[in-house]
Each structure stands twice: as structure tokens, then as C-alpha cells.
Amino acid sequence: MRRVLVTGGAGRIGGLLTTRLAGDYAVRSFDVAPHQPAPGVEAIRGVIGDLDALVEACAGVDVVIHLAGIPAEAIWEDLVRVNLDGTRTVLEAARLAGVPKVVLASSIHASGFQPPSTTPLPASSAPRPDTYYGWTKAAMESLGSLYSDRYGLTVFAVRIGAFQETPWSEVDVPIWLSPDDCVRLMRALVDTPVTGFRVVWGVSNNSTGWLELDAEVGYAPTDDSATVAHLAAPSDVAAHAHLGGVFCAVPLGKPLW
């Protein structure tokens, strides 16, 4: 049974994964918040910048899924401290503990200024961040590439789309990631024999989508936003001009919440 550490295990995606992966994997959850995960999941409370705590949490682990971070635009210093310095700490802890594989939660917003494409856009396309937040995600990807090339870690950077039960707005429809497909994607990345560094789009099999899905890693999404698109709220026309939607217009460094 593979052993998986999930950082940010008390968050929206982390809570889903620790619950759904438990039973098929030995799951350990690491989060700054006190939390009680699903039965059978080991909970560790700690700060993402604490290298010693993370090395200990990584002991005996086969895969780290790194989800901890600030999930939207925020103050520059906070974003760098948590999203960038925190990711470096996780990668360093994985290296020191001998963990062979790390899955990094990047974001669609690492490529937010990408305009719509008439052909499937590969995840290997160059980053075009839309915010300071998106820039930290692009920088995370670069760190993952560095640790893969330097130390031989397998690192997957997942540019997560609109992770929602159903798309909140029309602009989310092409980039929707259903909870079930999110679990399918993470299972695929945990189990795949593919090695090295790779960027992967984290979206469902959306009829109106234009992001290239990565079948080589074993990801086979089954959900399509077309079945729930009627539930999405209308979006401003300008929001459809780029992949990042409204993030392309928010003031840099201004917290969204």
C-alpha cells in the first residue's frame, strides 16, 4: 500500500482527498489548522515553513501531495512566504526524507493571461500568470523542475482549474474540475509509472474546454461541465478574454477575501 502525505489536508481539496484516498492508501494529513480527518488518516498539525516538522511528516512516505497555500490574490509578502518559501520547504523535506514523488498544486492562474485557443493547449505551454498569486504558482512549477533535475525527484505540477461542485459562473465552465475528477487525477498521479518533471492541467473532460488532457499519466476524467453549465451564473464578456477570467483584472496584491 502506497503511503501518501497531503499538506493542507484540512482544506477544501485536501479534506476531499484524505477522505477519498483513505483505505486504498496509507494517508497522512499535515495542516496548520487543528483537524480530525477521516478514520484511518493520521493527522499532523504543523506549519508549512517548518522544515524539521515536514521531514518528520515525510518519513516513510511514497508520495507528497502539496496543497497547502494561499489560494487567491493576496499581499506579496504573504504569497511569497507561504506559496513559494513553503513549497521550497516541502520539496527540501521530501528530498531529505527520501520521498521519490511530489505532486504540487499549481493553478490555472499560472497561465491566466493565455487567450482562448482553437486547438488543445498543452500544459507544457509557457506560464502567463495573471496575478501575484499566479506568479507564485508559476514559480512553484519552476522549483519543481529544479528539484527534479537536480535530485531526481518525480514532480507533477497540476494547474488546477475551477474546483467546484458545479461551475459557479460561465467563465468557469471550460476549466471546471469536478470533485470526482480531482480524485481521479490525484490517484492517477500517485500510481503512474511516469517519472521526471511534468505540468498537467487539472480540469474535467469539458466539451467546451480547450486544455489538453494528459492521458499518458493515466488520467481519464469522466465528468463534463456541459451537463451542469445551466447552473452557472452569467459572466461579464471581458472575463472570457483570458483563461484566468476576472483574475486578470483584480488589483495586484489586494486580498480577494
pLDDT at 117: 87
Q: Which member of 25, 132, 133, 219 is catalytic? A: 133
How deeply is 119 buried, as exposed, middle or buried, from its count of CB atoms within 10 A (0-12, 13-18, 19+)? exposed
Encode pLDDT of 8-22 as tens digits: 999 999 999 999 999
Cell numbers linked to 253:
496584491
Cell numbers linked to 89:
520547504
Side-chain half-sphere CA neighbours of 138 within 13 A: 17
pLDDT mean over 91-115: 98
Residue 199 confidence (pLDDT) above 90 = yes
Question: What whole-number distance in Å separates Cα of residue 17 and Cα of residue 190?
Answer: 12
For residues 224, 225, 231, 236, the Cα torsion angle rounded to the nearest 10 degrees is -170
Encode pLDDT of 222-251 as tens digits: 999 999 999 999 887 567 889 999 999 999
Residue 124 confidence (pLDDT) above 70 = yes
Cβ density class 54-78: b for 16+ within 10 Å, e for less: bbebbeebbbbbbbbbbbebbeeee
Topology given in CATH for the domain delimited by 3-249:
Rossmann fold (3.40.50)
Question: What whole-number distance in Å separates Cα of residue 23 and Cα of residue 4?
Answer: 11
Helix (H) or strand (E) holding 5: strand 3-7
- The chain-wide mean pLDDT, for the chain, equals 96
Cell numbers linked to 64:
507528497
Q: What is the pTM of this model?
A: 0.96
Decide: 109 and 92 in contact? Cβ < 8 Å: no
Non-local (6+) Cβ contacts of 249 within 8 A are: 238
Question: What whole-number distance in Å separates Cα of residue 209 and Cα of residue 218?
Answer: 19
Non-local (6+) Cβ contacts of 252 within 8 A are: 73, 131, 132
pLDDT mean over 139-163: 99
Residue 219 annotated among the catalytic residues of the structure? no
Q: With bands split at pLDDT 50, 70 and 90, how would you rate the model's confidence at 54?
A: very high
Cell numbers linked to 99:
520521498
pLDDT at 95: 99
